[in-house]
Amino acid sequence: MRAPISPPVLTAQMSLNRRGESRGDEGFIAAKLADGRARVLALFDLKVPILPSDDGASACLRWLSLDEARFMAEPLELAFLGEDISGSPVFACNFAPDQIASTGTAADAMKPLVDLRSLAIQGVLAEAELLAAAQARALFAWSSVNRFCARCGAAVQAADAGWRRHCTACGLDAHPRMDPAVIMLISREDRCLLGHEHRFPDKFYSTLAGFVEPGDDIEHAVRREVKEEAGIEIGEVRYVASQPWPFPHSLMIGCWGQALSEAISFDAREIADARWFRREEVRAMLENRHAGGITVPPPISMAHTLIRGFVERAIGD
């Protein structure tokens, strides 16, 4: 009997009601803009303004009214994120570095501006706020590098309240990008495979991961990446859970894979190390009491969900 999996900390279940079917309706968006309850999350070069608690243990996003946001820059490129549970409209905008410079004191008054990834990893934002900010960050991370038409090179215009970019020169429509990535706990009986990437902090190990490529399905991407990164053959693959990860705009697809071989052969260009760890050693790493000081990713991450699932015998063979 397998234990139930602890669900990921960050899922989209608390997210806004996006009203995606009405984004292209200008009358609908005009009514939302005229709603006195409307609020705006202003990002500053993708950083978010927060109100931290005195002890730093929690934080709230700092919201603006439409008038406050417009006071900073006009015209404002607003994206409609959706409606919150009370039905109030929620918008977002992003100020580019040159706009931040020109807003001067208004932007200064919004400090501290923090990196959303740090907030997510520290776990200091409420889930609903984190999700709204994640949605805004993924959208603007995409649109901030989509100012020109990739087909013809002409400047593009925002459309559908921020969810489409249209080229009036050649007619191409660009839609927000979500990059599917597989992240997998690979195990064989009592041991699991974890890797250390070059960019990781010292003594930090995580599950292997990689982007789904053209022509891949999820299961094939898992097998291909593990073979490329660690030289291990994978048999059965099972889907575990998924998570939006807006750095910049990934869809993390968490899986378990059964190793058919044990000999590790990794490509030093791809990763710095890959090793098998016994379940009890992984439990110590998860509980920050590993004798050698090895640590694993924080609770917000899909890697943590998968590693915890293995330790708790919710996933594995």
Binding site for a copy of itself (CB under 8 A): 8, 11-13, 15, 18, 20-21, 131, 134-135, 138-139, 142, 144-155, 163, 172, 174-180, 211-221, 224, 228-229, 239, 241-244, 246, 249, 251, 253, 267, 269-270
Structure tokens at 93: 């905008």
CA 148 to chain centre: 24
Q: How far is the CB of 314 from a copy of itself (least distance, A)?
A: 16
CA–CA distance, 166 with 150 (Å, rounded to integer): 11
Q: Taking the complex as a whole, how short is the minimal distance between the CB of residue 213 and a copy of itself, in angstroms?
A: 6
Closest to a copy of itself by CB, 12 vs 30, is: 12
The separation between CA 43 and the C-alpha centre of its own chain, rounded to angstroms, equals 16
Q: Of the two residues 210 and 316, which places its CB atom closer to a copy of itself in the complex?
A: 210
CB of 262 vs a copy of itself, minimal distance in Å: 20
Whether 147 contacts 157, CB under 8 Å:
no
Q: What is the smallest separation between the CB atom of 270 and a copy of itself, expressed in angstroms?
A: 6
Shorter beta-carbon distance to a copy of itself: residue 57 or 154: 154
CB of 137 to a copy of itself, least distance (A): 8
Comparison of 18 and 283: residue with beta carbon closer to a copy of itself = 18
CA distance 127 to 16: 11
Which residue, 188 or 223, has its beta carbon nearer to a copy of itself? Answer: 223
What kind and span of H or E run contains 286? helix 279-286
Provide the β-strand partners of residue 166.
Answer: 157, 173
Q: List the structure tokens of 118.
A: 């740090």
Q: How far is the CB of 302 from a copy of itself (least distance, A)?
A: 10
Considering the complex, state which of residue 162 and residue 316 has its C-beta at the smaller distance from a copy of itself: 162
> Nearest Cα to 208, choosing from 182, 235, 234, 244?
182
Q: Compare residues 175 and 313 and give the one whose CB is closer to a copy of itself.
A: 175
Q: How far apart are CA 120 and CA 88, in angstroms?
A: 24
Q: How far is the CB of 138 from a copy of itself (least distance, A)?
A: 3
Minimum gap (Å) between residue 20 Cβ and a copy of itself: 6
The bridge status of strand 234-245 relative to strand 191-196 is: unpaired
Of residues 234 and 285, the one with the C-beta less far from a copy of itself: 234
HSE, side-chain direction, 13 A CA sphere, residue 271:
25
DSSP codes, 63-125 = -EEHHHHHHH-SS---EEEEE-TT--EEEEEEE-HHHHHHHTHHHHTTPPEE-HHHHHHHT-B
